[in-house]
Structure 1
Amino acid sequence: MSNSPDRLYELLPVVYRIRDAEQGYSLRDLLRVIAEQVDVVEADITQLYENWFIELEKNQSLQLRAANHKRPVIRILDWRTAFGDALNVTVESGSCFVLDGLLIIGRGVHIEGNPSQFADYPTSVVQNPAAIIIRHSTLVPGWSLHCNCEPRRSTEPSLELFNINACVTIEHSIVGSIQVNQNEVETDPLPIHISDSIIDATSIEGEAIGAAGYSIAHARLTIARCTVFGQIQVHAIDLAENSIFNGIIFVVRRQQGCIRFCYVMPNSRTPRRYNCQPDLVEKMVRQETELQLNARHPVQPQFNSTRYGTPTYCQLASTCAEEIKRGADDESEMGAFHNLYQPQREANLRIRLDEYTPADIEIGIIYAT
């Protein structure tokens, strides 16, 4: 392969930067024009007040990302109260759509596939899936907040997936409810990979991952180091680890997959579990006397706050059970803040404090929010 300057220039993505001076233009029309020539749209502004309609053709890629040291806010206007205003994206086989470093408020993100992509099923589905990637982004749970951080639309989804031939990846993000509406006859379950994220249905009775009008979502879930508020109703869970599921789980294919080192709410229907809570504690309790059983408190996660917008959002409380705070496979905490390694850092700090603290002085550790 030639490494000539012309060849290298062809490999570089074409980047278009939206600046503050362009807020007066219609971004909907702008994206229609530049989507055919641009690979990356880089937002260098504070807020966008617009409803977006993006159509990607086969093997076409588009990335909406924040500029360096910027945190763009995409506020989707509520133009039609009775209709579904959203950030609308249409994908086809082989296309790629990326959201990186954005805050989306006001409405959700609606991603839909082109029905023609399943014309030569199953060949097109297996060989040319699209890619949907959401990373370092926030899709506000409940669309927007009241002044007391209560969600305005607590039952509305933040991400809707309609008949797409794709693999969905969510990394280091906060996302509200996810609704999956797939053709169960012509397609395999939609693969969804979630890691280091928070999925918030605003209540444990709501659907964190589900399908409107159906009992389960036609999806296969892989989830790691996440905190989930709400019910999960999916076809299968291939793997779940080091996560907190604060809601009932209902899985159709129990023979497939594994859940390990997680908190799973009682009465959930899951694949086989390994070293999960409160299973381990219940096993120990069954071996104790009846008096000890009645005196023992149930092991369940306790949070300083479960409302998006508060400083202590999803932070485990100091009174939370040690089985949760040290319940991951590496003895760190379960959930979205697993990679902070709080128990290990606290243990190392206490060792040094005990070694170097002068006599007759008492010390304590205060966690930052």
Structure 2
Amino acid sequence: MLESRVAEDRFEQYYTEKLWEWIPYTYRLEDGEIGDRFSRERRLSNTGSVSTNPGVTELDDTGQDFFSGPADVSSMMLEVTFTDNSGATALAYSGARDIDGDGTRIELFRDARRQVAGVVPGGGFNSLNTPLLYIARPVNSGPLRQMVELVAQQAATLRRSHDRLWQDQVIERADDWAVPYIADLVGTRLISALNKAGRRADVANTIYYRRRKGTLAVLEQLIADIARWDGKIVESFRRLGRTHHGLDPEPARGRMSGTMMGGWADLRNPGAANLAHGPFDEFHHSPDLRQHRGQNGRYGIQRLAFHLYRLKSYPLRAVTPRLVNGTVGFTFDPSGRNVPLFSRGDRVADWDQWKTAEEWELPVPVSRRLLLHAEFIVTERTVRLLESDPGLSAAEAADLRGIRRVRFRSEERLLETVLALPSTAGPAAPPYFDRLLSLSITEDSAQANLLPADSTDTRNRSIVVDEDGTGVVPRHRVFAAYLTPWSSTAHGKRIAVEPERGRLLFLEPPSEPISVSYYHGLSGEVGAGGYERQECLVPVNRVRTEITGGGATLNPDAIHNDGVTQINDSATYEPVSDKLAVRNLTLQAANGHRPYLLPGVNWVLNAAEFSDSTVTLDGLWIGGTGGEVILRAERHVEGVLQHGSYERVTIRHCTLDPGGETADCNPIQPVPLLIDCRVKELVILNSIMGPILTTDRGYVEKLSICDSIVQSLDPAVPAISLGQGELKLDRDTVFGDVQAHRLRASEALIEGKVNVSDVQSGCFRFSAASADSVLPHPYRSVELTGERHIFTSRRFGDPGYGQLSDSAPESLKRGAENTSEIGVFSNLINPIKLDGLTAKAREFMPFGLIPMMINET
């Protein structure tokens, strides 16, 4: 019986070895040949030897290490013929295996020693006790092995087909073709086949949805299951202003503004105005009976608002913050930009335990109001824990017991109450107050979930500041402030944070070095970032050097010209040395990390000594210092200039800074990619690039850019300039002009003029460019006529960078071949997900309600 637990991707290997072991072979070795053949066939030197004379044969018991090939190849029956000096023969059968698949090296198992020694007569091999033995096979089995592999492939195909028939009966493991048949069994209405994950989840949970039809819980679960977004649903009738009815329960007050339910707006808290018209709005409105469009038509008895958060929140760990010149302030972003900090988005995975989302549970930009939100309740457990610490008197403990079970809406209210207690001496906070803040903060406070309690808090927090020598700054020593100018004061606090712009200020000189961990927002996994990309990386066992620590550690000897070098953190590396003898260079960031590299001026990768060099850059952010990343291939030999070339250059999940502005209004120079040699193939995947240019002697045979953003801030410098060769654009967004000899574009959004020399070749399909462009064979494409409302943001560093805005033309939002949007985020199929969500919302909503899909991010 064949094993049934063999992985599907190993069926071919499994059946090949099973068939191979069923084929018998006979070998005849004359006396005196074993030692010679063993010496010829062994791959490595060893301390043992094989002797044909009577006596004990010795061989290092680690002979297993000398074998090559897979260690899990199945055994076969091997017939060995031994002939002694007198001509007598003895046969011994032993389990064995073919080491390299062609029969040139055979390994006898360790039990062969016992079997052979029992049947070989005296004279010649009377004491054969070698634990392992190599025997040369005189027959070439290459064609036979190939025939066995062909038979094994057909057996594997049949086996896989049989197994899949069983798996196709379960929706979690069924193939895509079987999903509609299972859907027909439960009678669900299928959504688009392009949304594979959403369609499968819909079929799997259809009965679950029907049992809970009409509840907010199942409608919010639809957002996660169908669209893979976060969201919050609000019944608009609850936001209508009305008079209080006598049968109504006592009206609650808004947590942020204090506004009474259904009553007049309390405008004393200006921060509450930022919540207006959103899912956490605490104000109440008059009915708006118009059709929903933008801010119009949002409030009515029949309206049900789906507030959608399409941006993803990505973590960054142990980043080196950038010191702002002339201050003691820092930016969380290592390049010095103003970048908003995001909440990590931590919804409960178990929908049976559903509760409506709090603001800090969604992937949203963190505001100062949210960072300051902390509520406190003193309990008996809190007092007892304080009593266990030295310094709390009995009178103080008694006073604290007097304020138990009282909810304090802010740290200031708690401090005022503590200062008013009889046992408190003086106007300053008592020594136990910091400990009291840490113990009494409520679990539903935003600050308790965004900031760490102390250095022992190992839970994943959204904002963490770590000082060397003092550890993590605890939350009771952090406060939110508007850091313009770079100054602030707060008694008892260590740092001030402005999360809207990602700024950090130490109230006292910090201990070096400083690292920060935070979350940033983006529509998808484009450019360098802390997201999952393990499948793209070279395995760790092939990495020659691992680098950590930042600083000047990327010296000429740190990066191998021929091998894999990996950076294992997200620190800043400055400077980065040139590489002048590139052969097969791979420089990658470890999974989940985004190192920031700052070359001195230019970063030159020179491959002059070879004509088939390769370079791979993965997961790196190369910052702007006014220089360029230059691909070059030249050297001088005895006064003669020699040229090399690149066979392939791959830039994957990287950011070559397109330029911008720092927090102190200084320019950040872009980092162009300059090709100064012959490159056979240049591949750019999931990256954010500055201008891509060629020199007079630079030549790229084929430039392929996929799922990437290319930007040029200078109108005089094209985003892509390729005088020769072919340019291929797939699902890209380009800010700037494009000059190319030959172009093949699909789902490309080019906000600039395109000038192609060879318009007889190539194509421009399902794409968009300026109306005055020269294009090859445009097909179902869009002409841009100067619209400025296409994107949420064109500034690198903003969460909405490269995202199509809600007011973008419908021809762009649904202009791709699959009716998705055109541009870098086409593969997210957001319009298709929205259609599926709308259809399912109408199916499971209460009767008579009207859904409103509102994009919050």
Contact 1:299 1:321 in 2 (8 A): no
Question: Which of the numbers 817, 831, 834 marks the counterpart of 1:346?
Answer: 834
**Alignment-mate amino acid for residue 180 of structure 1:** T
- SS in structure 2 opposite 1:324? helix
- Which residue is equivalent to 1:44? 568
1:247 counterpart = 2:752: yes
Question: Which of the numbers 84, 93, 98 marks the counterpart of 2:611?
Answer: 93
Question: Which of the numbers 820, 824, 836 marks the counterpart of 1:336?
Answer: 824
- SS in structure 1 opposite 2:791? coil
Contact 1:300 1:321 in 2 (8 A): no
CA distance 1:115–1:365, shift in 2 (3 Å): farther
1:136 counterpart = 2:136: no
Contact 2:552 2:574 in 1 (8 A): no
Contact 2:567 2:595 in 1 (8 A): yes
Contact 1:245 1:264 in 2 (8 A): yes
**Alignment-mate amino acid for residue 229 of structure 1:** F
Name the structure where strand makes up a greater proportion of residues: 1
1:183 positional shift: 2.7
| Unpaired stretches in structure 1, ≥5 consecutive residues | 78-84, 211-215, 280-296
- Which residue is equivalent to 2:702? 191
1:27 positional shift: 2.4
Contact 2:701 2:726 in 1 (8 A): yes
1:359 positional shift: 4.3
- SS in structure 2 opposite 1:179? strand
Contact 2:624 2:668 in 1 (8 A): no
1:276 counterpart = 2:792: no
Task: Find the aligned partners of 1:316 and 1:141 in 2 and give their Cα distance.
Answer: 19
- SS in structure 1 opposite 2:555? helix
- Which residue is equivalent to 2:812? 324
**1:130-169 equivalence runs, <5 A:** 130-142=647-659, 145-147=661-663, 152-153=668-669, 156-169=670-683
1:218 counterpart = 2:724: yes
Task: Find the aligned partners of 1:248 and 1:105 in 2 and give their Cα distance.
Answer: 27
Contact 2:633 2:677 in 1 (8 A): yes
Task: Find the aligned partners of 1:150 and 1:221 in 2 and give their Cα distance.
Answer: 34
Aligned CA-pair RMSD: 3.2
1:176 counterpart = 2:242: no
1:111 counterpart = 2:634: no
- Which residue is equivalent to 1:30? 557
Task: Find the aligned partners of 2:760 and 2:602 in 1 and give their Cα distance.
Answer: 37
Out of 65-74 and 351-360, give the one that drifted further.
351-360
CA-to-partner distance for each residue in 1:51-87, whole Å, 9 max, x for gaps? 3211235xx211110112211111224xxxxxxx122
CA distance 1:28–1:260, shift in 2 (3 Å): same
Q: Structure 1 vs Structure 2: percent identity of aligned residues?
A: 28
1:234 positional shift: 1.7
Contact 1:43 1:66 in 2 (8 A): yes
CA distance 1:150–1:270, shift in 2 (3 Å): farther
CA distance 1:191–1:29, shift in 2 (3 Å): same
1:152 positional shift: 2.8
Contact 2:576 2:597 in 1 (8 A): no
1:26 positional shift: 4.9
Task: Find the aligned partners of 1:333 and 1:111 in 2 and give their Cα distance.
Answer: 34
CA distance 1:150–1:233, shift in 2 (3 Å): farther
- SS in structure 2 opposite 1:348? helix
Q: Which portions of structure 1, spanning 4 or more consecutive aligned residues, are displaced by more than 3 angstroms?
A: 4-7, 23-26, 148-151, 203-206, 297-301, 359-363, 366-369
Task: Find the aligned partners of 2:665 and 2:801 in 1 and give their Cα distance.
Answer: 11
Question: Which of the numbers 581, 588, 596 marks the counterpart of 1:65?
Answer: 588
Contact 2:551 2:575 in 1 (8 A): no
Task: Find the aligned partners of 2:705 and 2:817 in 1 and give their Cα distance.
Answer: 18
CA-to-partner distance for each residue in 1:127-149, whole Å, 9 max, x for gaps? xx52111001111102x532289
Contact 1:114 1:164 in 2 (8 A): no
1:120 positional shift: 11
Task: Find the aligned partners of 2:715 and 2:836 in 1 and give their Cα distance.
Answer: 35
- SS in structure 2 opposite 1:169? strand
1:301 positional shift: 7.0
CA distance 1:62–1:120, shift in 2 (3 Å): closer
Task: Find the aligned partners of 1:240 and 1:74 in 2 and give their Cα distance.
Answer: 31
Task: Find the aligned partners of 1:149 and 1:326 in 2 and give their Cα distance.
Answer: 37
CA distance 1:101–1:14, shift in 2 (3 Å): closer
CA-to-partner distance for each residue in 1:341-366, whole Å, 9 max, x for gaps? 01110000000111222246554334
1:29 positional shift: 3.0
Larger Rg: 2
Question: Which of the numbers 545, 549, 557 marks the counterpart of 1:16?
Answer: 545
- Which residue is equivalent to 2:769? 264
Contact 2:587 2:618 in 1 (8 A): yes
Contact 2:615 2:649 in 1 (8 A): yes
Give the alignment's TM-score, normalised by structure 2: 0.34
CA distance 1:312–1:149, shift in 2 (3 Å): farther
Task: Find the aligned partners of 1:173 and 1:131 in 2 and give their Cα distance.
Answer: 17
Contact 2:551 2:573 in 1 (8 A): no
**Alignment-mate amino acid for residue 783 of structure 2:** P
Contact 1:301 1:324 in 2 (8 A): no
Tell me the number of residue pairs that the alignment of Structure 1 and Structure 2 aligns.
317
CA distance 1:340–1:368, shift in 2 (3 Å): farther
**Alignment-mate amino acid for residue 241 of structure 1:** S
Task: Find the aligned partners of 1:132 and 1:298 in 2 and give their Cα distance.
Answer: 35
**Alignment-mate amino acid for residue 811 of structure 2:** E
CA-to-partner distance for each residue in 1:267-299, whole Å, 9 max, x for gaps? 1112111111139xxxxxxxxxxxxxxxxx988
1:166 positional shift: 3.0
1:256 positional shift: 1.5
1:151 positional shift: 5.3
- Which residue is equivalent to 2:844? 356
CA distance 1:149–1:249, shift in 2 (3 Å): farther
1:199 positional shift: 0.5
Give the alignment's TM-score, normalised by structure 1: 0.76
Name the structure where helix makes up a greater proportion of residues: 2
- SS in structure 2 opposite 1:365? strand
- SS in structure 1 opposite 2:557? helix
CA-to-partner distance for each residue in 1:225-278, whole Å, 9 max, x for gaps? 0000101112221x1001101100111111121111101211111211111113
Contact 2:657 2:671 in 1 (8 A): no
Task: Find the aligned partners of 1:192 and 1:115 in 2 and give their Cα distance.
Answer: 25
1:24 positional shift: 5.7
Task: Find the aligned partners of 1:309 and 1:148 in 2 and give their Cα distance.
Answer: 15
1:48 positional shift: 0.5
Task: Find the aligned partners of 2:705 and 2:633 in 1 and give their Cα distance.
Answer: 21
**Alignment-mate amino acid for residue 243 of structure 1:** A
CA-to-partner distance for each residue in 1:68-124, whole Å, 9 max, x for gaps? 2211111224xxxxxxx12210124211111101111124311112278xx999xx9
Task: Find the aligned partners of 1:231 and 1:351 in 2 and give their Cα distance.
Answer: 40
| Unpaired stretches in structure 2, ≥5 consecutive residues | 1-67, 72-98, 101-540
Out of 333-342 and 163-172, give the one that drifted further.
163-172
- SS in structure 2 opposite 1:218? strand
